[in-house]
């Protein structure tokens, strides 16, 4: 698949139906997800930060995130979107520069949050948040090819504003030029349906936490266009590490290792993921 085909495919995926975009945290997980049928991939800021021994929310620099995104791009032929937190900048020009660089390295899209990377993770004031998205959208258009800008309203998930404010924000983000809107954890499925109905552009849903109990068909039924999982799969692997290591070190019990995937199966999937179409 050529770079141009990657971008066209990613754009097309957002035009109809509903698709799952898994979130790998390294080249190996990217290739496994591609081998298992993923049509596109998105980085996870938390999953990547964990690999560096750091916490999420501001633990990774822009240069590190861009280099990591390039590693994911190189791992498979699939289109990739970058999880770029607050755009690694407070000011609109800085956010625009992040989006410009994302396009330069070959990403097919990226997400920008309305959350400050300081203690408590407060939201940017409304007008400032909108201007940041407007600058990001303008930068996305300068790529001269399809680039899906996802504008996130994270205040409900972070407990700093309510659903009504999230909807006010994504409606303004849509008007400012965002291609995809995203309100993580909007309460419940009814809240998510309200989010979808409030805008005309596609909506991303997060299938993590309480929302992981819902199926793809349930998300599709209420009009969700894209389903991501954030750091959930990365955290699932960390839970396996916690469980197995605790059993070994605390009780001398190695039986959790009996659940390990076979090496030859992983080898085969890695090779298949590298050439996935």
Query: Per-residue pLDDT tens for 130-189?
Result: 999 999 999 999 999 999 999 999 999 999 999 999 999 999 999 999 999 999 999 999
CA neighbours closer than 13 Å in the CB half-sphere of residue 16 = 0
Across the chain, where does the E strand assignment appear?
19-21, 41-42, 80-83, 109-113, 148-152, 180-182, 203-206, 226-228
Task: Give phi and psi for 217, each to the nearest 5.
Answer: -65, -35
Please give the radius of gyration of the chain, using alpha carbons only, rounded to the nearest integer: 19
State yes or no: pLDDT of 192 exceeds 80.
Answer: yes
Question: What SS3 state is found at 105?
Answer: coil
Specify the pTM: 0.96
Other Cβ atoms closer than 10 A to 171: 17
pLDDT at 58: 80
What is the rounded average pLDDT of the residues 238-265? 97
Weakest-pLDDT range from 33-47, 51-65, 91-105, 224-238: 51-65
Residues 6+ away with beta carbon under 8 Å from 109: 10, 79, 81, 82, 102, 147, 148, 149, 150, 179, 180
Whether the pLDDT of residue 1 is over 80: the answer is no
- Measured distance CA(190)–CA(43) in Å, rounded: 27
**pLDDT attached to residue 15:** 97
Residue 91 half-sphere exposure toward CB, CA atoms < 13 A? 3
Residue 277 confidence class, pLDDT cut points 50, 70, 90: confident
Instruction: Record the tokens describing residue 57, joined without a space.
Output: 């929310």
Q: pLDDT digit string (tens) for 87-116? A: 999 999 999 999 999 999 999 999 999 999
Encoded tokens for 75? 């791992």
Residue 251 has pLDDT above 80, yes or no: yes
pLDDT, mean of residues 60-73: 98
CA 79 to CA 9: how far, in whole Å?
7
Distance CA 160, CA 172 (A): 18
Identify any residues that bridge with 21 across adjacent strands, giving them in sequence order.
228
Domains of the chain: 3-274 (3.20.20.60)
d(CA 242, CA 236): 10
């Amino acid at each position: 698949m050529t770079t141009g085909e990657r971008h066209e495919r990613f754009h097309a995926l957002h035009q109809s139906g509903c698709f799952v975009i898994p979130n790998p945290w390294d080249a190996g997980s990217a290739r496994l997800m591609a081998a298992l049928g993923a049509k596109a991939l998105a980085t996870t800021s938390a999953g990547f930060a964990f690999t560096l021994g750091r916490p999420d929310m501001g633990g990774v620099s822009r240069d590190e995130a861009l280099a990591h995104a390039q590693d994911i791009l190189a791992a498979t032929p699939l289109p990739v979107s970058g999880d770029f937190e607050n755009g690694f900048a407070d000011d609109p020009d800085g956010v625009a520069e992040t989006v410009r660089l994302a396009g330069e390295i070959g990403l097919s899209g990226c997400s920008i949050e309305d959350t400050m990377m300081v203690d408590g993770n407060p939201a940017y004031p409304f007008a400032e948040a909108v201007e940041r998205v407007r600058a990001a959208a303008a930068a996305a258009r300068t790529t001269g090819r399809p680039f899906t800008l996802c504008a996130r309203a994270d205040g409900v998930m972070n407990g700093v504003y309510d659903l009504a404010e999230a909807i006010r924000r994504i409606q303004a983000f849509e008007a400012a030029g965002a291609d995809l809107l995203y309100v993580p954890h909007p309460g419940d499925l009814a809240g998510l349906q309200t989010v979808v109905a409030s805008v005309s552009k596609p909506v991303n849903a997060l299938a993590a936490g309480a929302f992981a109990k819902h199926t793809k068909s349930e998300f599709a039924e209420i009009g969700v266009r894209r389903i991501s999982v954030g750091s959930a799969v990365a955290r699932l692997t960390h839970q396996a590490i916690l469980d197995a290591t605790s059993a070994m070190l605390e009780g001398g019990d190695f039986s959790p290792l009996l659940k390990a995937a076979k090496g030859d199966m992983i080898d085969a999937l890695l090779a298949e993921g590298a050439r996935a179409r």
